[in-house]
Amino acid sequence: MLADQAGVDFIGVGEHHRADFAVTSPEMVLAAIAARTKRIRLGSAVTVLSSDDPIRVFQRFSTLDAVSNGRAEVILGRGSFIESFPLFGLDLKQYDELFNDKLDLYAAVLKQQPVTWEGKTRAPLKNQSVYPKTESGKLKTWIGVGGTPESVVRAAHYGMPMMLAIIGGDPKRFAPFADLYRRALKEMGKEPLPLGLHSHGFVGETDAQAKDDLWPDYKRMRDKIGGERGWPPMTPTDFEREIEHGSLYVGSPETVARKIAATAKAFGGIDRFDMKYSAGPLSHEKMMRSIELYGRKVMPLVRELAA
């Protein structure tokens, strides 16, 4: 409710299947949020399509669209973890094949017409209708991209908006992917589509307060995941470097707004900036304060700077 009232336009809930990330079914959480909000758009961040059924994904989100009066969105992706593969009995050797096949089927279902489709990873469909359909006939679906040219071109091929996840390093180094996406759409004869960016961040009353509040919890989360992937522990110097020159948007509303605006300019403009608020055991109180500052102060400043 706070995000809705504070003017935040969208909330995305991630899908995970591990002890340190609580949500395995974003749609259930989003439906609960829908019942207590009026305007904020509701989506996944991301739905791990590789280990899901594309028809069921559409059905769950078209149902969410109905109960939220047309506010549902989907962000499809591979996810940054692989726990769902063994959990659902899938072979990691089919990592690419599963995603490509399921995305192709989802794109067919998204047209909300009888589906005739054949792929490699499931039985074919012949003139099969999928319910429920959305009232508007549309279900906004983004493709989440981690930064490979193939993924960018795939998003353009299916005519879906692209959400570019930038979770480390200088965000400007990803700008060529925005150029590639726009160029690919044009070469394929498609109209321009929305481009969004997704990065970690935290807003405080001052730069110092924001850093002090986030650091211990962010380090704990980063070191746990990093330990699984062979990364060295994060140091305070690493943290400061990522804030100053990387893709961690931390500080006062003015500081964060300026950084978002600068990033948007480097990308030739963006249609959405998704800030990942949570960071491991970050307290509810801290997260709520950050969300309120983001909605009430950061986004108005970004719009002013971009005008």
Q: Which DSSP state fits 171?
A: G
Residue 51 predicted with pLDDT over 80: yes
Question: What's the pLDDT score for residue 114?
Answer: 98
Question: Residue 10, exposed/middle/buried by CB under 10 A (0-12, 13-18, 19+)?
Answer: middle
pLDDT tens digits, one per residue of 247-269: 999 999 999 999 999 999 999 99
Residue 21 predicted with pLDDT over 90: no
Residue 278 predicted with pLDDT over 80: no
DSSP assignment of 10-27 equals EEEE----BTTB--S-HH
Phi, psi dihedral angles at 247 (to 5 degrees): -110, 30
Residue 279 predicted with pLDDT over 80: no
Angle in degrees, CA 243, 245, 249, rounded to 5: 35
The helix (run of H) or strand (run of E) holding residue 199 is: strand 195-203
Question: What's the pLDDT score for residue 306?
Answer: 86
Give CA–CA dist 88/40, Å, rounded.
32
Q: What percent of the chain is modeled with pLDDT above 70? A: 100
Question: What's the pLDDT score for residue 307?
Answer: 81
Can you list the domains of the chain with their CATH numbers?
A: 2-203+272-287 (3.20.20.30)
Mean pLDDT of the 275-304 span: 92
- pLDDT interval class at 85 (50, 70, 90): very high
Mean pLDDT of the 203-223 span: 96
Angle in degrees, CA 265, 162, 92, rounded to 5: 130
Question: What's the pLDDT score for residue 280?
Answer: 72
Give CA–CA dist 19/54, Å, rounded.
25
Q: Are strands 125-128 and 115-117 parallel, antiparallel or unpaired?
A: antiparallel
Closest by CA to 194, choosing from 229, 163, 239, 231, is 163
